[in-house]
Amino acid sequence: MHVHEKTLTVSGQNWIEYTLENDQGISINCLNYGGIIKDINVPDRNGKLENVVLSFANNEDYLNNPNFFGALVGRVAGRIESSSFSIDGKMYTLPANEEDHHLHGGTNGFHQILWETTPFQTETQIGVHFTHTFPDGDGGYPGQLEVTITYALTNENNFEITYQAISDQDTILTTTNHSYFNLSGNLKRDILHHDVQIDAGQFVELNHDLIPTGDILSVDNTVFDFRKAHPIIDGVHSIDQQNLVASNGFDHYFIFDHQQQPNATITERESGRRLEVRTDQPGMVMYTSNGLDDSIKLKERNATKHLGICLETQGSPASLKHKGFPSIYLSKGETYHKKTIFSFRTID
């Protein structure tokens, strides 16, 4: 196992690109800017190594990165309705960056931070620690927040992301990574025939602004029932109102039943690649890149709708407005500690 690093100069900034490579030949390239994952190279059933995430052709495009390709997301992943919330009766207002709402930490979230980084290697894994202290009031959020996020790759082909944080005030926090996966390899095909399985009997209803309505729906007798695997294309062709509000696809929070492991599995039968997701988060937003188009220049090709699938393990910002949703409140002095493991496998 090896960790390599090189310096990149991007629009006058010096970035570090790390390459994590295990003994099986799997490699992950990531940046200290935004914690961005640029490439994940994994084998197909015949052992051919190819990239399975969407990444820009030009590093400069990560400076803006409105689609959050590969990036860390925080302080709050997802949409905060009307860009406001309250703690103990005190109202906080955040900058709106999607209509009237606050999306993925705002305009200066985790995805645009130049993180302090420390590479490491042990007997069982290689990786990088990302650390940053966010001052009280940064981005409108209360509390000085000390954050450490760790990327680690094992020889068992597991990619582990561990999130740790502590605040000196009561605050809100839920973090994730926003990689877009495409298991066909080097973006040869879209994701419509990726088979998805999710251990979730409920999902969150959205309005036309993609804001939770406050209702939690059963997946029974809908294309949202992924307890048995079926392809993404079922939701694209669906006339279910919830698929239509998401622009013909999925952009919904699934609440895990935590009845079985893994929590989610994605399989691309033609390549034989399978991705398993295990997490201690209460749920996951599955986004099927319904908003991408060919104006976006990616490394292998221009983007298209439904070219990638995001598996955003997190709590629910809807808990700020509605009861019954997984909370994202973090008490003063409490340690936030969450972990998500992406395991890369092959099938016959």
Domains, the chain, in order of start with CATH, read 2-346 (2.70.98.10)
312 as an active site residue: the answer is yes
Catalytic residue among 17, 268, 276, 312: 312
Q: Does 251 have pLDDT greater than 90? A: yes
In contact, 183 and 192? CB cutoff 8 Å: no
* pLDDT score, position 257: 98
Q: Does 283 have pLDDT greater than 90? A: yes
The overall average pLDDT reported for the chain is: 97
CA separation (Å) from 75 to 52, 113, 142, 285, 293? 26, 12, 11, 16, 27
| 192-219 average pLDDT score | 98
* Beta partners for residue 287, in sequence order: 251, 310
132 as an active site residue: the answer is no
Mapped to the 3 state alphabet, what secondary structure does 74-100 carry?
CCECCEEHHHEEEECCEEEECCCCECC
Q: Does 83 have pLDDT greater than 90? A: yes
Catalytic residue among 111, 178, 194, 252: 178
Buried residues in 204-217 as b, exposed as e (16+ CB within 10 A): bbbeeebbbeeebb
Q: Does 107 have pLDDT greater than 90? A: no
Residue reference for tokens 């609440």:
255
* pLDDT score, position 325: 97
* pLDDT score, position 55: 98
pTM, full prediction: 0.98
In 135-211 the beta strands, taken as DSSP E runs, fall at 145-154, 158-167, 171-172, 176-177, 180-181, 195-198, 200-206
Map residue 194 onto helix, strand or coil. coil
Neighbouring CB atoms inside 10 A of 82's CB total 17
| 269-283 average pLDDT score | 98
Q: Encode pLDDT of 6-65 as tens digits.
A: 999 999 999 999 999 999 999 999 999 999 999 999 999 999 999 999 999 999 999 999
Q: Which two tokens stand for residue 19?
A: 């390459």
DSSP designation for 106: -
